[in-house]
Amino acid sequence: MMPLDTNDDISDDALMVLFANGDGQAASVLAYRHTGRVLALALRMLGDQAEAEDVAQEALMRLWKIAPDWRQGEAKVSTWLYRVASNLCTDRLRKHSGKRATEDIDNVAEPQDDSPSIEADLIARERADALQAALQTLPTRQRKAVSLRFLQELANPEVAEIMEISVEAVESLLSRGKRGLAQALEAQRMELGLDT
Amino acid sequence: MAHSDKGPNEEMLDMFFDASKAQEPVPGSDLMARILADASQVQAGFKHATVATAATAPARVTENILTRIFAVMGGWAGASALTASICIGVLYGATAPDTVRSYLPTMSEQTAELDYSYLGLLDETVADLEG
């Protein structure tokens, strides 16, 4: 497929107007530009590929629907999508409360790929999986703040805007979230080759 | 920097974060197809709204023009007066041409006499002034 996500010279706001006016390409550019990030956040929040994809699809669906009423310059499309996606994740976590919270770090899935590969790659994948499992042990708000700040690499004010809380509250959540992650991951350090 | 609480586990966490970022999920073609299908469906709704507006637009314009003309004429009272005037005009035109034509020769003769007498008086006045 044509690499539409490379069309960086068109702003998201302009694409929203184009989409609302019936431009077929605008949706493709927006989708290829933002779906990956939304999916990543949803996957980190939910820890389930199928559910994360559903959230990404629903978040984009809401973006399409709001296009005619989109107010240029008021909010970034990425911020808006993160907020919608994170709220959808929170709703799903509430519905499935307890189910994922009880997931233990020992339940981290083994790598699917059994083919020989470089040890560093395996360790990196194990670390990513371990972090994913550790994230699931955090309270939802800490998980959301940590994911947005350290994995989606957003600035604290933007995290605050997405979560609709103060920057100070974000910093507090990040501090507690990192402590919780460190505790959850500490037991895995030797196994994952971090002390070698 | 946002995270000022650098602790002993900071480097370890950074390694985990880096590893996770390197494993960023890539949206599959199936997901993208679903998302773009949604976009097309939603966009089709926008198009229907636009088409509906375009279809009704000429009727609205015609209606507006007629309404404005009607208002300029003074509403129902003005329209009635105008209609009556038109009917009377048509009636006169159809039934009384002979009556109007009977005045025309007299009017032409009188006009000719007036013209000549006026010029004669002018000539006399000029002669008196010169003499």
The pLDDT tens digits for A8-30 are 678 999 999 999 999 989 999 99
Q: How far apart are CA A186 and CA A179, in angstroms?
A: 10
Q: Are A195 and B18 in contact (CB under 8 A)?
A: no
The pLDDT tens digits for B35-79 are 999 999 999 988 655 544 444 444 443 445 555 666 666 676 777
Q: Where in chain A is the domain with CATH 1.10.1740.10?
A: 1-101
Q: Which class is domain A103-196?
A: mainly alpha
Task: Give residue for tokens 């035109």.
Answer: B93
Q: Do B47 and A128 touch (CB under 8 A)?
A: no
The mean pLDDT value for A56-71 works out to 95
Which residue of chain B has the CA closest to A29? B36
pLDDT of residue A74: 84
* A138 backbone φψ class: left, alpha, beta (φ>0; ψ -120 to 50): beta
The mean pLDDT value for A63-80 works out to 92
How close B4 gets to chain A, by Cα (Å)? 9
Distances (CA, A) of A190 to A135, B13, B16, B66: 19, 14, 14, 87
The mean pLDDT value for B100-125 works out to 61
Q: Which long-range contacts (CB under 8 A, 24 or more apart) does B111-116 make?
A: none
pLDDT of residue A28: 95
Q: Do A36 and B35 touch (CB under 8 A)?
A: no
How close A102 gets to chain B, by Cα (Å)? 21
pLDDT of residue A100: 47
The mean pLDDT value for A20-43 works out to 94
Q: Give the rounded distance of the alpha carbon of B33 from its chain centre.
A: 44
The mean pLDDT value for A40-54 works out to 94
Q: How far apart are CA B46 and CA B52, in angstroms?
A: 10
Best residue in B4, B9, B15, B16 for a mutation probing chain A (most A CBs within 10 Å): B16
In B21-60, the residues whose Cβ lies within 8 Å of chain A are 21-29, 31-32, 34-36, 38-40, 42-43, 46-47, 50
Q: How far apart are CA A14 and CA B39, in angstroms?
A: 16
- The least confident of A33-42, B6-15, B83-92, B114-123 is B114-123
Q: Are A156 and A167 in contact (CB under 8 A)?
A: yes
Q: How far apart are CA A52 and CA A49, in angstroms?
A: 5
Q: Where in chain A is the domain with CATH 1.10.10.10?
A: 103-196
Q: Which of B17, B24, B32 lies closest to A150 in CB terms? A: B17
SS3 call for A61: helix
Q: Are A135 and A146 in contact (CB under 8 A)?
A: yes
Confidence class for position A4, pLDDT limits 50, 70, 90: very low
Q: How far apart are CA B6 and CA A178, in angstroms?
A: 10
Flag whether residue B122 sits within 8 Å of chain A, measured between CB atoms.
Answer: no
pLDDT of residue B54: 43
Q: Which long-range contacts (CB under 8 A, 24 or more apart) does A91-96 make?
A: A92/A46, A92/A51, A92/A55, A93/A45, A93/A46, A93/A140
Residue B27 CB neighbour total at 10 angstroms: 22
Contacts of A134 in chain B (CB under 8 A): 16
Residue A32 predicted with pLDDT over 60 = yes
* Residues with Cβ within 8 Å of residue A87, at least 6 apart in sequence: none
Q: Do A65 and B9 touch (CB under 8 A)?
A: no
pLDDT of residue B116: 61
pLDDT of residue B51: 43
The pLDDT tens digits for A140-178 are 999 999 999 999 999 999 999 999 999 999 999 999 999
The pLDDT tens digits for B75-111 are 767 777 777 878 777 776 777 656 656 655 555 555 5
* Annotation: CATH topology of A1-101: Rna Polymerase Sigma Factor; Chain: A (1.10.1740)
pLDDT of residue B53: 44
